[in-house]
Copies of this chain bind each other. A is one copy, B any other.
Amino acid sequence: QGTRDHPPAQTVLRDRLLAAVVACFKRHGAAAIDTPALELRETLTGKYGEEAKLIYELQDQGGELLALRYDLTVPFARYLAMNKITNMKRYHIAKVYRRDNPATTRGRYREFYQCDFDIAGQFDPMIPDAECLKIVHEILSDLQLGDFLIKVNDRRILNGVFAICGIPESKFITTCSTVDKLDKLPWEEVKNEMVGEKGLSPEAVDRIGEYVQLHGGLELIERLLQDPKLSQNKLAKEGLGDMKLLFEYLTLFGITGKISFDLSLARGLDYYTGLIFEAVLLQQENDHVEEPVSVGSVAGGGRYDGLVGMFDPKGRKVPCVGVSIGIERIFSILEQRVKASGEKIRTTETQVLVATPHKHLLAARLKLISELWDAGIKAEMLYKKDPKLLKQLQYCEDTGIPLAAIVGEQELTDGVVKLRDVATREEVRM
């Protein structure tokens, strides 16, 4: 349940998509690593907040207690700490596992690919952070997925908001989780959850509501920097200062048009410590709809400066910022697009079929195809001793093989091959 086989046509399409993503990651100078799908259970413990219940655990069959990785970020942090690496730009494309309620039509699975790019190291503020947003912008533009919006926020700003609204610090993370639902639920419902389930005071929640419904650009940052209460909060002030710097850099990259500073963005995971962001595609089909509607997140990420330190025996920190591309949802969109276009995807790359026009020529076919393979030519033949020529040509048409190399008695005698263009039926002896 919640997993799927990829038949050849899907695999070809997915490989195309991943190639585009990898090209972007390489363009930004990242190296690839690979880590096991299995991690020690204790490695994953305490990293995912309320989502921890979705971790797949392995049966205790003796030996270490294991679990399947939930994302690629925690394994990356574990890798950095284990190898004492303090500086690295890496990408990683691999499957992750979540015991979630699958919604396969919307591209939500229990086993799915993640495509992560992360920058680890102590650097000047917001330069790597800006590059992560540039990468999201490049990939979504390259794939021509239509209009999109990248929402950005900062955990320090959110925590500052919570603090000045009177939320106790012990409830920051759980309040974050609830705020994060604002992209799916109206404010009233989110408010009810905060007051009912989370036990926050209605007055505090109303004050939060005034902030988290704000979104805008540089002018909003400036306004909040002047906010009498928020500007008194050390964390919020730092966050707003960095957000301003980020917008400066994004202006130089020329991408602020697709960026929205959005105080409702919270993201579910525990480990974020600074910038957080999420990219959504905007619906365009209905021209009569006044405002573009979000059709879900296709990329997300943020800064997690504390995670590597959790794996270091001495707690040495390595600041990190990264982005994860939501390849499954993008794949669903591309797949629908290919279906709609009627494009027939070839699932093999065979260049030539080795064929014979009459019986008792299996040996000739085997000899010729062997020569072609040894010359690096992609060649197939039918696995029959005496196939009909028509069947062989039909196979070319069915599978898109452009050429047939035909050897009959006459060709064998003359020491030639008849090369046939399957589409035009033109033949040359060579």
Contacts and interface: CB of A to CB of B under 8 A. Distances in A.
Interface in A151-196: none
Given A10-B34, A28-B379, 10 more contacts: A3-B36, A8-B32, A11-B33, A26-B349, A31-B347, A37-B95, A38-B111, A57-B61, A58-B59, A127-B362
A42 B11 CA distance: 26
Nearest to A29: B380
Interface residues of A, number: 77
A130 B369 CA distance: 12
23 contacts: A5-B33, A5-B34, A5-B79, A5-B82, A6-B34, A6-B35, A11-B31, A12-B32, A26-B378, A27-B379, A28-B373, A28-B380, A29-B379, A29-B380, A37-B111, A38-B110, A57-B59, A59-B59, A89-B380, A123-B384, A124-B385, A249-B366, A253-B370
A363 B35 contact: no
Interface of A: 1, 3-8, 10-12, 14-15, 26-38, 56-61, 63-64, 68, 79, 82-83, 89-90, 95, 97, 99, 110-111, 119, 121, 123-124, 127-128, 130-131, 134, 138, 249, 252-254, 347-350, 362-363, 366-367, 370, 373-374, 376-380, 383-385
A279 to B, nearest CB: 17
Contacts of A366: 127, 130, 249, 252-253
Nearest to A370: B253
Contacts of A6: 33-35
B14 A34 contact: yes
B124 A4 contact: no
Contacts of A12: 31-32
A383 B124 contact: yes
A376 B29 CA distance: 12
Instruction: Give the oligomeric copy count.
Output: 2
Contacts of A60: 59
A176 to B, nearest CB: 26
Contacts of A378: 26-29
B1 A64 contact: yes
A128 B383 CA distance: 6
A87 to B, nearest CB: 10
B31 A348 contact: yes
Given A366-B249, A373-B28, A380-B29, A37 B36 contact: no
A8 B360 CA distance: 53
Contacts of A374: 138
Contacts of A370: 134, 252-254
A67 B347 CA distance: 30
Contact of A350 (B29, B56, B383): B29
Contacts of A110: 38
Given A11-B34, A34-B6, A111-B37, A99 B61 contact: yes
Contact of A363 (B26, B30, B252): B252
A267 to B, nearest CB: 23
Contacts of A26: 348-349, 378
A1 B124 contact: no
Nearest to A66: B56
Contacts of A111: 36-38
